[in-house]
Structure 1
């Protein structure tokens, strides 16, 4: 029986994982990995930290956890995989089951036969047809070569000015990298707020933090032109006519699946533009699999296809493709719920499942709640986190969760990701048995506390609104009675400055006469995190007040300017 020939195209994440998995499960298979770039298995999510200098050694982006560089010799010796770098696949002949390749350095060409082919061609950065995009000083951050270039620019341009077009994951991570490297950075985001996977309540908190760290954030307006002189960038012009001087422009408005080879070979593309695959990662050709940024996958919550260009998913998909290429279609990739996390200076922003906006767009009726508080007890050095939960109104099923702040948001998001994957309800999570010790969590973990808040809302035990919703009411001309139930010292240190009334919670029962005479008048109660605000609502409702709202998250979740 002849050896099975497995050819893998693409050597960043999904490709190496698929190749290694295939060879591990069939040591007799001939596995060949073709990579256009000169490097293999690059840790592309680490590029921003290499640009900033936090990752000092370039080789660490290419190394195993024990420091061995994953080059062709490593793949041949440790994995049994023939890895060819600097080798571009130019065509796929499905009838002959061969791929045509070309080596850029020598111009050499050839053909390689396959029994099973795995496409892991990744994605390409989106660069819209903006005038001036060809100028020197305009770049992306999608390759190690880009990272090398940005690192050199950042090191040489301390005190210089940079504009980042796009406030998504890569845009904000690059913002931090360039600010850390000493540049003056402006992020321009055409949408109303940065990090579109977050709802405004949390995204605005991240914006506020980034500004406090020295970044300039411009939202709700796009770029109309990149300005230049003598072939070099000198600035950008915004769609509203404003001009921003700079010597560097980083395009970070997202990526598109790299499907040119697949399309030319006649493989079916999905509605999103990615390669269409089934749960086995099989394309429309049973002898060809695909994995990573180039494919579309199933959203497990909406049941619809989506693009999910994340390194962790690429590895999971590659593992399935590699296994099925040698053992037959037994392994499955069930899809994604869309989990992600990024670092923005001293903050982290994590989300899993659907945001409120996306849940409503998908046709779900939802209830939400916001929680602000510490990640661990104060006596253990707590740091603040703010979270938002999205729940299906009729069933209580958790659809989404997001968390931002200086504390450990990854733990909270990971807990809720597993809850969503398990189809758990708020009632399930509200009584979850999680590991507890003061160095690691609160006695009632923050995520469980968030579930308690939305549980109270769903049971009619609490009426709550987000800070953004309360601010919207004020901006619309409403005049609710703003009741701050913190202590006098807290009030002196920081306050809304919007005509609020201070009545400490411990005095509220004795000072009900200071509340509005009309028991139906709107009252908004809050404190630092609104635990005391919830207590105040209970006291007021017992006294006959019928229109009391808790400002969820309190001042800790207020994303606007505070009076100090």
Structure 2
């Protein structure tokens, strides 16, 4: 019996994971990995943190946990895998089951046969088709070479002004990295909001925070890169504004690298990625594909999506590594598109469907907003704002968004697990989570969010979003807005839409100050709307019939506030 021949195209995340898993499954398989660039198994999600100076040793992006650089020598000695760097696979010959390749340093060409082929060609950064795009000083942050260039910019300290184009995850992480270098920054986003995977209000809260660190421009794209002597001097926007700068980092998304697969006759989906089944097989049963070059099913909506995330690439690579050796025994069920990023003292992320995506998918849903600390105040608890989306009929959790200076990652991990486990609100209201003051409140933020949702589904909690309240105020609707905070809080900050201050501790004795018409609409709120909820319950007990609570309170108000 001859040894199985396995070829992997791509050496970033999926490829090395698949190759390593295949080796653990079969000691005698002949495994070869081709990598177009000079580096292997790069921790590309760590690029912004290397640029930002969170660590200085470049090799940490290429190392094993024990500090050994994953180069071709490492792969051969530790894993018995032949890794050919600076070598591009130029053609897949499916009929003869071989690949053709070219060494980009020597020009040497060759071919190699396979029994099973793994395509992990990743994705390339989008670049705007506008004048000046080839000027010196324009970069992306997609490769180790990009990271090296931007780290040199940071270390040299010569650049004083920069523009980041694109308000997605990479753009915002890059903004932080360059801010740490003392560079004056402008973030430009063509769309009306940053982080388009979030609902507008949550994205607006992120934007408000980022404006304390940099100039943020939305609803305006780049029309031209302006330069002198081949070097960037300014970015010209579509409205004619010119922003002087010596550096522009383009982060407007990526596109799957599928030409090799397409030329070989493999099926490409409507979104531009390679189509695979649950075993990560293409339409050729001997060819598998995974990572950023592929489309993947969203488990909740059932629709294909592009999900270029490093964790998914590794999970898919592991599935392929099993299947190319043992037959199709491992499955990748799809994604719920969990993502998170850090920016300065905040974090923001999502798991599952946003409200907008739930609407697009045709779900009859309910949503709530919870603003509350992650830990007790005496343990320096920090604010979290969570938006939860739940299917009405089944009460199944569809999605959660979370942001703030508190422990966002813990909240997203809880909700991601709940979604994957098909849990309902009823499962979460009494969830048995670990509690001690250094880690959480006695009722964890996630459980409190479930409590609010339960109350809303029962009709006990009647909420109103900040967007709806702002629209009502702008129209001049006849309503009474009750601020249940203390006078000191009111003096420091207020909504500025005609609210009346009646602290919750004084409300019972000041009921005579409320409208005589008990059917008139009353909106209650406080800092996070816990006192607002208590005020609403009190008012309903006294016969008021049209009371709503501002969800998230003043801390989740995305519009300008009076100070």
> TM-score band, normalised by the shorter chain?
over 0.9
CA distance in 1, matches of 2:473, 2:67: 56
Once residues 524 and 131 of structure 1 are traced to their aligned partners in structure 2, the CA distance between those partners, rounded to angstroms, is 52
Alpha-carbon distance, 1:273 to partner: 0.9
Matched, 1:216 2:229: no
Runs of 4+ in 1 over 6 A off after TM superposition: none
- 1:106 match: secondary structure: coil
Unpaired stretches in structure 1, ≥5 consecutive residues: none
Partner SS for 2:155: helix
Cα RMSD of the aligned pairs, angstroms, is 1.2
Whether the 8 Å CA contact 1:159–1:182 is kept in 2: the answer is no
CA contact (8 A) 2:383 2:406 kept: yes
| Partner Cα separation in structure 1 for residue 196 and residue 28 of structure 2 | 47
CA contact (8 A) 2:370 2:552 kept: yes
Structure 1 length as normaliser, TM-score?
0.98
Partner residue in 2 for 1:166: 166
1:289-336 per-position Cα deviation (integer Å, ceiling 9, x unaligned): 001001111110011111110000000000011110111111000000
1:359-417 per-residue CA deviation (whole Å, 9 max, x = no partner) reads: 10111121100000110111111111100001112221110001001010111111010
Q: 1:38-84: per-residue Cα shift (whole Å, max 9, x none)?
A: 00000000001111111211000001112111111111111111111
- Quote the Cα distance in structure 2 between the aligned partners of 1:509 and 1:120: 66
SS of the aligned residue for 2:291 comes to: coil
Q: Cα distance, 1:209 vs. partner?
A: 1.4
Cα distance in 1 between the residues matched to 2:482 and 2:125: 49
Whether the 8 Å contact between 2:373 and 2:384 is mirrored in structure 1 is: yes
- Contact 1:368/1:454 (CA < 8 Å) preserved in 2? yes
Distance, in Å, in 2 between the alignment partners of 1:50 and 1:468 is 39
Aligned partners of 1:398 and 1:224: how far apart in 2?
42
Question: Partners in 1 of 2:407 and 2:99 — Cα distance?
Answer: 47
Contact 1:193 1:204 in 2 (8 A): yes
Alpha-carbon distance in 1 for matches of 2:548, 2:508: 17
Task: Give distance in 2, aligned partners of 1:550 and 1:220.
Answer: 31
The Cα shift of 1:241 comes to 2.0
How do 1:264-275 residues align onto structure 2 when only pairs under 5 Å count? 264-275=263-274
| Counterpart mapping for 1:110-129 below 5 A | 110-129=110-129
**Residues 163-200 of structure 1: CA deviation (Å, up to 9, x unaligned):** 11110000000011111111111111111111111112
TM-aligned CA deviation for residue 155 of structure 1: 2.9
5 Å-filtered alignment, 1:277-316, equals: 277-316=276-315
> SS of the counterpart of 1:220?
coil
Asked whether the 8 Å contact 1:158–1:181 carries over to 2, the reply is no
CA contact under 8 A between 1:342 and 1:348: conserved in structure 2?
A: yes
User: 3-state SS of the aligned residue for 1:134?
Assistant: coil
In 2, Cα distance between the equivalents of 1:470 and 1:119?
51
| TM-score (structure 2 length as normaliser) | 0.98
The corresponding residue for 1:28 is 28
| Structure 1 residue 248 corresponds to structure 2 residue 247 | yes
Is the CA contact 2:122–2:292 (under 8 Å) kept in the aligned structure 1?
yes
Tell me how far apart the structure 2 counterparts of residues 332 and 558 of structure 1 sit (CA, whole Å). Answer: 43
Aligned to 2:202: 202
Distance in 2, matches of 1:478 and 1:248, equals 48
Query: What secondary structure is seen at the aligned counterpart in 1 of 2:292?
Result: coil
Aligned to 2:192: 192
